[in-house]
Amino acid sequence: MLLAHRIRIDANAAQRDYFARAAGTARRVWNWALAEWHRQVALGQKPNALALKKQFNAIKYLDPAWLDADGNPWLRTIHRDAHAQPFANLARAWSRYFEQRRAGKKAYLPRFKRKGRCTDSFYLANDKFRLEGNTAVLPKVGRVALCEALRWPGKILGASVSREAGHWFLSVQVEVPEQAAKRYRSGDGITGVDLGISTAATLASGEKIASPRPLKATLRRLRIRSRRLSRKLESAKAAADIAGRVPKGTRLPVSKNRTKGAQALARVRRDFTHKLTTRLCRENQAVAIEDLNVKGMLANARLSRAIADVGFYEIRRQLCYKAQRYGTSIVLADRWYPSSRLCSACGIRNGELVLGERTWTCASCDAHHDRDVNAAMNLQRLATGALAARPALPEASQAVTPGTAAGTVPAAGGKVTPVRHEHGQQDCSGQEEDGEQFCARLR
């Protein structure tokens, strides 16, 4: 199983300066390769990443665009992995684009990277660095202090150094033996999870887990920091004599205070999602969640900030890869499955239920429901039915921890069992019977 351990680097000023220059080199080489790719396509040629890499190697120490003010090749001060890996990344980006086009899916062209708008990172091959307890020996930098040692045994495949909110991290990709990667669960429950805004997650047990977002103090601090950052941006525009929108291609001077403001904004809450998803996988053998149309939900101007702040997709992504380590089954309900409208007691569907109704009473059995708890209980039934039919259903594919080097593996894995939409009134969701009938046909 491929896992990545992301370790914070306790870097000094000189090391931080090198990391920033190496990340800038990787970004600039990517932009050069992408521009050259487009230029060759416009000329009717068929570019490929390997040929572009050879073309770049021929000019990187000679072309004036890649020389410093004294005429020296500044790329010699940066380890070659930082300006070699972007070509492999570009090849994967174009391959993914063409595969999605052939599959009839919506595909996006590789884009240029802009300073301050992309993640600062660069790649290190596994034979170019070594780990020694709480330290790492990196090329061109030497020994750097790590906040912790590598957690997992196994073969190191590579690493990447990246910056987040003013701190640098070393993400080490490791091929971990199955027995070492597996984690033991503390329970074997089955639960459904209804994601929401007022409460980040509602469990089938009735427990409601609040997101840090609704807390007034957090929101107030978030607004204050946003205003501070906005004022710093307006000051930068005034210093550049710009009124209104910033013209495309114009780079504003970045002040230290503006940088610190952006970093403070990025530090607002990080561990809530990890704690929630780890708990769900640790305590349950099966978890059912809905396949939410997050992109469509973000189109609602009134709810978009709250939805993005809770992080519905991030919760799902983390559940998918953590489930592999804990041996937990993830059941993904179809986005049209009426989890809130079905009575969890008798199965009758309430077609009159609107979004503003947070509680409702079943006209058939007089059961009174909290909307979110009822949805979680219906999802729990799906997980129970899917688990009963587990031998006949497709097993989840191997997932990996995000943050692996240079995006060599998907950010999240896990093949899940979809739930078809059942129309009209019914005594149950339909998943339980489908599983039993499917098992019976295989006997």
**pLDDT tens, position by position, 229-243:** 777 777 777 777 777
* Diameter over CA atoms, the chain: 84
372-388 mean pLDDT: 87
| Statement: residue 424 has pLDDT above 80 | no
pTM (2 d.p.): 0.69
Question: Which pLDDT score, from 0 to 100, does residue 224 have?
Answer: 72
pLDDT tens-place string over residues 24-74: 999 999 999 999 999 999 999 999 999 999 999 999 999 999 999 889 999
Could you give the CA distance from residue 283 to residue 185 in angstroms, rounded to a whole number? 6
Percent of the chain with pLDDT over 90: 47
Contact residues for 402 (Cβ-Cβ < 8 A; gap 6+):
4, 317, 321, 411, 412
Question: Which pLDDT score, from 0 to 100, does residue 267 have?
Answer: 60
| Statement: residue 318 has pLDDT above 80 | yes
190-212+269-442, CATH topology level:
Nucleotidyltransferase; domain 5 (3.30.420)
Residue 166 contacts residue 173 (beta carbons within 8 Å): no
Residue 414 contacts residue 338 (beta carbons within 8 Å): no
Percent of the chain with pLDDT over 70: 77
Question: Which pLDDT score, from 0 to 100, does residue 385 have?
Answer: 83
Q: Kindly indicate the confidence band of residue 178, based on its pLDDT and cuts at 50, 70 and 90.
A: confident
Find, among 395, 421, 238, 411, the residue nearest to 331 by Cα. 395
- Looking only at the bridges linking them, the beta strands covering 284-290 and 329-333 are parallel
Question: Which pLDDT score, from 0 to 100, does residue 33 have?
Answer: 97
Residue 386 backbone phi and psi in degrees, to 5: -70, -35
- Measured from the Cβ of residue 36, the count of other Cβ atoms closer than 10 Å reads 16
Residues in the chain: 443
3-state secondary structure at position 280: helix
- Would you list the domain boundaries of the chain? 2-181, 190-212+269-442, 214-268
Torsion angle defined by CA atoms of residues 380, 385, 389 and 395, in that order, rounded to the nearest 10 degrees: -30
248-267 mean pLDDT: 57
Residue 208 contacts residue 193 (beta carbons within 8 Å): no
Q: Among 90-99, 249-258, 402-411, whose mean pLDDT is lowest? A: 402-411
Quote the mean pLDDT of the chain.
80
Could you give the CA distance from residue 96 to residue 126 in angstroms, rounded to a whole number? 25
pLDDT tens-place string over residues 281-293: 999 999 999 888 7
Question: Which pLDDT score, from 0 to 100, does residue 421 have?
Answer: 32
Could you give the CA distance from residue 216 to residue 220 in angstroms, rounded to a whole number? 6
